[in-house]
Amino acid sequence: MNAAAHHRLPLASLLALAMAAFITILTEALPAGLLPQMARGLARSEAWVGQAVTIYAIGSLVAAVPLTAATQGLRRRPLLLAAIAGFAVANTVTTFSGSYALTMVARFLAGVSAGLLWALLAGYAARMVPGPQKGRAIAIAMVGTPLALSLGVPAGTFLGNLAGWRMCFGIMSGLALLLMVWVRIKLPDFAGLAAGKRMPLRHVFTLAGIRPVLFAVLAFVLAHNILYTYIAPFLAASGMAGRTDLVLLAFGVSSLLGIWIVGALIDRHLRALTLASAALFGLAVLALGVAGNAPVVVYAAAAAWGLAFGGSATLFQTALAKTAGDAADVAQSMLVTAWNAAIAGGGSVGGLLLERLGVGAFAPAMLGLLAATLAVVWAARRHGFPAASCPAMPDRQTEARP
């Protein structure tokens, strides 16, 4: 094999993983854009239907670690196909269900599938490329996340208004089935870990660098979700209630730029990019806290926030993959748990702040979380977020099957 072929990224395979991420995020977030229609269709209040997002997160939260640990020895491609099949089944049930309870069961199943899929994606992408390209490969696999948030949810909401919410979930089922064919044709298969190489959960958790990365995930994503979950009341207090869609558009577009920048630089500057993301997010929050009544400041802060957040999943997943080595999938399942805990925490902490102290309390709370993120990343200069170029994540001693 010549050098050019050796260093060429397997784009068709990586984009299949990106589509998996897109389906995962869109399945999670779509009910938020279709609440009124779903509430009418299921004869429940919008508040009750809103729990479709909550129960999805709970499914991911409770299933990611035990399910990933239990399947360490299974071949990777069949396991990935099983996770995608879970979305096809869950979204099909949601499409045709007239029962609120059955819909919630389907949403929980989708969350379980998401917990497993997220634990697999980064490690799968990293195994398909040489060591120096692992970060870039993970960035491509993660590009489906900002695309789903910035384009998928608005498009789904628009389609739901035209053709009904059930059509949206039906299309998601069709996409999942097509993706299964794509994965079967294009993705190589990898063996699971041999019994002698499997590490107990507690040993993975105590590996040097794992806990700093998980703490950074929890604090950074919690800060993000306090604002993202309650962006509408925050903007209403600033006199911009009618501009929520434009503010989120600024966030979404800049998040795409953020993941592009991270993908281009991550293999050489993982630590610097992580510190810069936390610092930029902090500056955006500070601007909102000081001058949140000025529309130009709000739009600029939203763009900076999106730029900081867009590549964050890639940064944290790459840091964890390189730190965990052969235990990458189990470590990624811990990241999934931390991420979903932060999503749930953003709703509860943000709601408490909103009810007790008002939106003015958001900025101080978020700044505290981001300061803690910066401190932990800065201190993890030997393990987790190394100051020098990270050694490549060890490749598994297994051969890929076409």
pLDDT of residue 333: 81
Whether pLDDT at 97 is above 70 = yes
Whether pLDDT at 395 is above 60 = no
Helices (H), 196-293: 201-205, 210-229, 231-237, 244-291
What amino acid occupies position 228? Y
For 351-390, write each residue's pLDDT tens digit. 888 888 988 999 999 999 999 999 999 999 888 898 764 4
CB 120 within 8 A of CB 141: no
- Class for the domain spanning 199-387: mainly alpha
The closest of 297, 317, 189 to 243, measured between CA atoms, is: 297
Whether pLDDT at 267 is above 90 = no
Place 332 in a pLDDT band, splitting at 50, 70 and 90: confident
The closest of 278, 280, 134 to 219, measured between CA atoms, is: 278
Q: Which two tokens stand for residue 256?
A: 């795409």
**Number of neighbours of residue 70 by Cβ within 10 angstroms:** 10
Domain ranges of the chain: 7-194, 199-387
- Give the C-alpha separation, 201 to 317, whole Å: 18
Mean predicted confidence (pLDDT) in 58-72:
85
What are the backbone dihedrals phi and psi of residue 189, each rounded to the nearest 5 degrees, phi first?
-105, 145
Whether pLDDT at 139 is above 90 = no
DSSP per-residue codes, 110-165:
HHHHHHHHHHHHHHHHHHTS-GGGHHHHHHHHHTHHHHIIIIIHHHHHHHHHHH-H
Q: Which two tokens stand for residue 260?
A: 């592009």
**Number of neighbours of residue 275 by Cβ within 10 angstroms:** 17
- Give the C-alpha separation, 123 to 331, whole Å: 10
User: What angle in degrees, to the nearest 10, is found between the helix axes of 165-186 and 35-42?
Assistant: 110
Q: How far apart are the first and last CA of the chain?
A: 17
Distance of CA 324 to the CA centre of its chain: 19
The chain-wide mean pLDDT, for the chain, equals 85
Mean predicted confidence (pLDDT) in 225-233:
83
- Give the C-alpha separation, 270 to 229, whole Å: 28
| Three-class SS state of 338 | helix
Would you tell me which CATH number, out of the four given (1.20.1250.20, 1.10.645.10, 3.10.450.350, 3.40.50.1000), belongs to the domain 7-194? 1.20.1250.20
Mean predicted confidence (pLDDT) in 219-245:
86
Angle, alpha carbons 309-313-316 (nearest 5°): 115
For 20-36, write each residue's pLDDT tens digit. 999 998 898 888 778 77
Which helix (H) or strand (E) is 183 found in, with range?
Answer: helix 165-186
Return the bridge partners of 189, or none. Answer: 401
Place 199 in a pLDDT band, splitting at 50, 70 and 90: low
